[in-house]
A and B are shown apart, each in its own frame.
Chain A
Amino acid sequence: MQRNDYVLIDSHVGAFDLRLGELWRYRELVWLLTRRSFVVTYKQTILGPLWLVVSPLLTSMAYVILFGRIAGLSTEGVPQLLFYLLGTAAWTCFAACVGRCATTFVDNAGVFSKVWFPRLAAPVSTVLGAFVRLAIQLVLVLVLIAWYAVHGVVAPRWELWPLVPLAVLQLGLLGMGCGIVVSSATTRYRDLAVLVDFGVTLWMYATPVVYPLSQVPDALRAIVLANPATAPVEWLRMALLGVGGVPVAALAWSWAVTLAVVLLGVAVFNRVERTFVDTV
């Protein structure tokens, strides 16, 4: 019998035994779960995956009217629609990571109590799903960028484009980290799930999504920079639209927080996962 089939289930485990190797062996499942969420979401809908493009477009149009026309917020010379579209797409991705990971245990209670697979496969596939959605939306963003770039309205910083995936990855990791911390707590207190939607909405306003960092008054700048979600959003904007950006220190801080949250999240998640079934 192959050695890699050996499994030890001990009543005592170390707090930071992350068991990532196990997850890697189940990569096929992660991918299938990601695929399944797409198939199931768009079955029996008229527009199907087209919704992915339609909804951020409508949201951005609303922002153009609300924040652009009525509130008169600056977009640093970038066409408003493009500015808001990128912000919305990035934030939707992040919010989906937090929101859906936060309900991992509640949503999967039925399956988790009947079969075993590495539980982390569920939140990880959620994040991958959010990435795929974001990628589709970015295609639309790129079309707009190409159009405006040809007309000389925006000047993307092409040399930074290879780093775009890194910013997206950071959004995903941070979102998943927060999400699984909450999901571990929701096995005891379900009302935390309500707080999440609310909290993420508030968080959006503390992040330069509908406004650029440069417009933040100095008194509040430190707070916005302390927000770990600021760096990846600004970074995306700098690379793709050629405006914005954060100091290196803020970037480093943001990554440090992200990694800490993910590590903590996975550790807590693995702990709760072991006996979560007993408390449903």
Chain B
Amino acid sequence: MAEREELSPKPPLVIRVTDVGKRYRLGEMGGRTLQHELQTWWARRQGKQDPNRRLGDDRAIGEEFWALRNVSLEVRRGERVGIVGVNGAGKSTLLKLLCRITAPTEGRIELWGRVSSMLEVGTGFHREMTGRENIYMNGAILGMTGAQIDERMEQIVEFSEVGQFLDTPVKRYSSGMFVKLAFAVAAHLTSEIMIMDEVLAVGDVAFQRKCIDRMRSAAEDEGRTVLYVSHNMDTIRRLCDRCVVLDAGRVVYDGDVSKGIATYMNNGLGLGTTDVDLAALSHSGLSRGTGVRMERVVLDGKADTTFDAGEDLRLRLWARVERPVRNVCLRVTLRSETDVGLASTWSDPLDLENAGEHELAFCVPLDGLRKGVLYVSLGMYRVDEVGRRLTLDHVSHALRIELAGVALWNLRAYGYMELPKIQVI
């Protein structure tokens, strides 16, 4: 299989994903006791509510959904691929399939090389064992021999900065040390493919930078391939030379990094739109089957998306409801151009008494925000008896607005917001 590719001048293939799909069943009965299943079955037979169903979860049990469908992807040696997408777009599922943690429902995946993965910091680490023992353990998980690990030991220890604690059980490590050791191990073990999921969210900034540099050099100098998932567009931009955008389980963009990030951030909507067809945008995976769907949002009374200082964000939202829901609250979240969450606000609970289409008008004061391009995410939640917010529907980056800004406001230096005046005391 491998030889065919080596004839071409391009670097050889290391990953080939062909028409892969992964199906999950909502609320699938698994890992429960037989007693629970009998209860559920009895309740359903009697037409009563299932005693074992999660409270407030109105989704139909047994409903299937495809976390990924018809995904095809080829990655060549030395590429640094960033994978972006909203929550529920299928990023993590794709990584899990590539790491062989779960098997695809359809299609095939071919890998040429060993995969070292970090889907979570320090998996496979045992708290009672020392740092050194854990390094051997992780190496063995990759199929390395003791001798091969010995060769790398020095590099790992140096990178991790935990040298003097190497023979201490890792349960005595601080969380920072733990992360450093875990990353050092994953980054230095012999593997042709490195898969990282949001791992850099932990750890200090200096170490984050070091990790990114390390992944870059692993790709550039050692010809290893990096797959990296993050919500932090800055790290994607710094690390990757290719970007794959996933949306609702499909690849919607594959190519240049800045275009990829723009595609993701704009959620496919044209710039300057004041009337957005939400039905055409991707909704969060959590909102499948809840019976509530936001369909359209309009910037009320605006001809364009530019806002003056002191102007409020007035929105008109149309939502379709399949059955009456009480205690619904709206959420508006503002995000920066680099997809950093800036601020959120919620409405008081309201009741949607009738099934059908509802039109909601609301106003978000933008006091304090001074300048910059902002993405608006919209969410609808149901507040349950104990005050938890359960997602009914959510659309990331539904709108893009621009604050023209006050004169002399230096966005790079001051940020997006002006806080109330300093009180001299």
Contacts and interface: CB of A to CB of B under 8 A. Distances in A.
Interface stretch (B124-132, B278-286, B293-301, B325-333): B124-132
B104 A115 contact: no
Contacts of B192: 1, 5
Interface in B114-173: 114-115, 117, 119-120, 123-124, 126, 128-129, 133, 136-137, 140-141, 143-146
Given A114-B123, A114-B124, A280-B30, A11 B129 contact: no
Given A25-B143, A110-B123, A116-B101, A7 B128 contact: no
A277 B140 CA distance: 21
Contacts of B146: 28
A6 B129 contact: no
A223 B367 CA distance: 84
Contact of A275 (B102, B112, B140): B102
Given A6-B110, A29-B141, A40 B128 contact: yes
Most B CB within 10 A of own CB, among A43, A110, A188, A274: A188
Interface in A1-22: 1, 3, 5-11
A7 B15 CA distance: 10
B238 to A, nearest CB: 25
Contact of A29 (B97, B129, B140): B140
B205 interface: no
B140 A9 contact: no
Given A8-B108, A25-B143, A28-B140, A111 B129 contact: no
Contacts of B2: 1, 3, 6
Interface of B: 1-2, 12, 14, 20-21, 24, 28-35, 37, 96-97, 99-115, 117, 119-120, 123-124, 126, 128-129, 133, 136-137, 140-141, 143-146, 192
Interface of A: 1, 3, 5-11, 25-26, 28-29, 32, 36, 39-40, 43, 106, 110-117, 187-192, 274-280
10 contacts: A8-B111, A10-B109, A43-B128, A114-B101, A115-B124, A115-B141, A187-B30, A277-B96, A278-B28, A280-B31
Given A10-B108, A117-B140, A277-B96, 6 more contacts: A9-B110, A9-B111, A29-B137, A36-B129, A115-B99, A189-B33
